Homo-oligomer: A and B are copies of this chain.
Amino acid sequence: MTQWVITVMLVAMPRWDPRAEDRLREAALELFLEHGYENVTVAQITERAGLTRRSFSRYFTDKRDVLFTGSERLPAVLARSVRDADSTLAPFEALLTALVDVAGMLADQAPFTAQRRAVVRASPELQERARTKFAAVTDAVADALRDRGTAESEASLLAQVGVAIFRTAFERWTDQPDDVGLPARIREAGAELAASLGAVEFAALPPARDAMAAHG
């Protein structure tokens, strides 16, 4: 579906400039960091990029879209990758395989991610938007795991944990993009978490403080 839309757009835009989108994004991120996201207008972005409002509208619906473009595809792409993973894999293995798989597609985002994170971190509105995006990814992944036969509640838990691993790996990669790639960061975060959880004796956890313990 998304593929079709993109194809049609390319055909309909003879003056499409592959660098215009990057120029607009660079200009926007610079301005957001300089003046704060809330204080920047689309007019300022297009002026700094040396492009028109019409160019801007070709790539983005509004200034917020500059930060989140592409992310609307992530839920569907990740869910498909989970569904397509080898049917013999256990649920969490299928999920991690999908995360590593999709990570490869994000390589081109590396130059922008550090600045983007700084902008989002400074704005409660953008943080909320980012949370909504992550929730959409989590829901899509949970649905895909259910399609593979994982029980409802377990699918939701694994999806949340998979997204947490992905976010952690993404941040580490953004902080030090030249050290190792995002796929390696995903394996690292997953292995770290497995070690932390593997060390816990769940039956030996102390009981709760009050009456609930009687039921627990």
A-to-B contact residues, CB < 8 Å: 90-93, 96-97, 100-107, 127-128, 131-132, 135, 153-154, 156-158, 160-161, 164-165, 167-168, 171-172, 180-184, 187-194, 196-200, 202-203, 205-216
A181 CA to B213 CA, complexed, in Å: 7
Nearest CB on B from A82, distance (A): 14
Whether B100 and A184, one on each chain, are in contact in the complex, defined by CB atoms closer than 8 angstroms, is no
Q: Given A100-B208, A107-B215, list of 18 further CB < 8 A pairs?
A: A90-B196, A91-B196, A102-B208, A104-B208, A105-B209, A105-B210, A105-B212, A128-B128, A154-B196, A156-B168, A157-B189, A157-B193, A181-B208, A181-B216, A183-B205, A183-B213, A190-B200, A194-B197
Interface SS of A by simple majority: helix
Whether A202 and B213, one on each chain, are in contact in the complex, defined by CB atoms closer than 8 angstroms, is no
Partner of A202, one of B91, B96, B209, B212: B96
A100 CA to B203 CA, complexed, in Å: 12
User: For A107, what are the chain B residues with a Cβ–Cβ distance below 8 Å?
Assistant: 210-212, 215
Known contacts A105-B210, A158-B196, A200-B96; A172 and B187 CB within 8 A of each other? no
Partner of A100, one of B154, B194, B207: B207
Known contacts A131-B131, A194-B197, A210-B104; A164 and B153 CB within 8 A of each other? no
Partner of A197, one of B132, B190, B210: B190
* Number of copies of this chain that the complex holds: 2
Whether B216 and A184, one on each chain, are in contact in the complex, defined by CB atoms closer than 8 angstroms, is yes
A-B contact pairs, 8 of them (CB 8 A): A101-B209, A103-B212, A153-B171, A161-B193, A161-B197, A181-B215, A183-B216, A194-B202
Nearest CB on B from A64, distance (A): 15
Whether B206 and A90, one on each chain, are in contact in the complex, defined by CB atoms closer than 8 angstroms, is no
Counting chain B CB atoms within 10 Å of each CB, which of A96, A154, A164, A205 scores highest?
A205
User: For A206, what are the chain B residues with a Cβ–Cβ distance below 8 Å?
Assistant: 97, 100-101
Task: Please name the 4 residue pairs, one residue from A and one from B, whose CB atoms are nearest each other, closest first.
Answer: A104-B208, A181-B215, A183-B216, A181-B216
